[in-house]
Chains A and B, each alone.
Chain A
Amino acid sequence: MSEIMRSALPGAEFTGFVQVSEAGLQGMITLRADLAAPQLATALKSATGCAMPKTRKITRDGAHSLVWMSPDELMILCPHAEAPALTDRLSREMAGAFVTLANVSDARAMFRVTGAMWRDALAKLCPVDFASLQTGDIRRTRAAQVAAAILVTDAQEAQIICFRSVAGYMFDLLSIAAAPGAEPALYV
């Protein structure tokens, strides 16, 4: 099936003072539940290897991550092909509890902004103090006129998740923000 699946903006890439690239197909599962339930933490740990993240944090184990989205919502990141089965598995394991799981892999697009100056690029789009964001943090905000989630994965990289329909808008925004010569020298 992989040949018939297309991410939102396959292969899109821009090199400015940071590199902007579309991350390709990425598994994403929305989980809504009482995050304090011990049964949930156990099920997630065994299915993904990740511990329950604290408020606005990301936990990670290999290709799997748990991303805190709101007091009763997580996003599970996993390989794209794995998402349907993982959704089913967790649904089975949590059957009977008030838990909702939905595969939203295709509802979203993901971009990587790579380079030491990623904060300087994103500061042009998001009303966020990037000095306060460190590796392992997630910040939901807006980028210009659309919703965005910023995942700090590494000192040199942030991932931006937006809705699939606005992937083109987001890519254009990021490319404009990263234009060579437009370094604001704010954080770096």
Chain B
Amino acid sequence: MLLLTCPYCGVTAEETEFSAGGEAHLTRHGPGSSDHDYEAYMFNRKNPRGVHFERWRHAYGCGKWFLAARDTMTLEVLATYPAQTSEPPAEVIAKIKLKRPDWEGYP
């Protein structure tokens, strides 16, 4: 069972306090979008072996959504950061690169 740190309230808590929300940094494609873009938005997910960006909500805590960079192989939590961003912030990228020098980068 994972341990995650909520970047809003600063609590490090076990997974049961959170709810998972799937892949982070999806771009919403609404009316007028192509079938291809809509499909990518709704259904196509990365499922990488390694560094993954995902959404979590501190559901039983402060109620805030946040994002996590996590290694799907080792379960290492590389960073957690606020959700109000459309791509991983530079300092998060730098943190990951430090730990995973051969990571191909985002996206």
Direct contact of A and B (CB under 8 A): yes
Which of A70, A73, A142 sits near B16, CB closer than 8 Å?
A: A142
- A70 lies within 8 A of B17 (CB): no
Q: Closest chain B residue to A140 by CB distance?
A: B61
- Give the bracket for the number of chain B residues in contact with chain A: 10 to 19
Decide if A55 touches B17 in the complex (CB within 8 Å): no
| Cα–Cα distance between A56 and B8 once the two chains are bound (Å) | 11
CA distance A141 to B60 in the complex (A): 5
Q: A127-B16, A142-B16, A142-B17 are in contact. Are A70 and B64 (CB under 8 A)?
A: yes
Docked pose: A127 CA to B10 CA in angstroms: 15
In this assembly, does A71 line the interface, its C-beta being within 8 Å of a C-beta of chain B? Answer: yes
Closest chain A residue, CB of each to CB of B82: A71
Total interface residues on A, CB under 8 Å, equals: 13
Q: Is the CB of A70 within 8 A of B60?
A: no
Q: Which residues of B contact A139 (CB under 8 A)?
A: 11
Smallest CB gap from A69: residue in B? B62
Q: Does B9 contact A (CB under 8 A)?
A: yes
Q: For A71, give its contact among B11, B13, B16, B64 (CB under 8 Å).
A: B64
Measured CB to CB, the nearest residue on chain B to A56 is B9
CB distance from A132 to the nearest CB of B (A): 10
Cβ-closest chain B residue relative to A71: B8
Taking CB atoms, residues of chain A closer than 8 Å to B16 are 127, 142
Q: A127-B17, A141-B17, A142-B17 are in contact. Are A56 and B10 (CB under 8 A)?
A: yes
The closest CB in chain A to the CB of B62 belongs to: A70
A-B contact pairs, 10 of them (CB 8 A): A56-B9, A56-B10, A56-B11, A70-B64, A71-B8, A73-B62, A73-B63, A139-B11, A141-B60, A142-B60
Interfacial chain A residues near B14, Cβ < 8 Å: 127
Quick one: which of B36-68 are within 8 Å of A by CB? 60-64
Other than the given A71-B62, A141-B60, 9 more pairs (CB < 8 A) read A70-B64, A71-B64, A73-B62, A127-B14, A140-B61, A140-B62, A141-B17, A142-B17, A147-B60
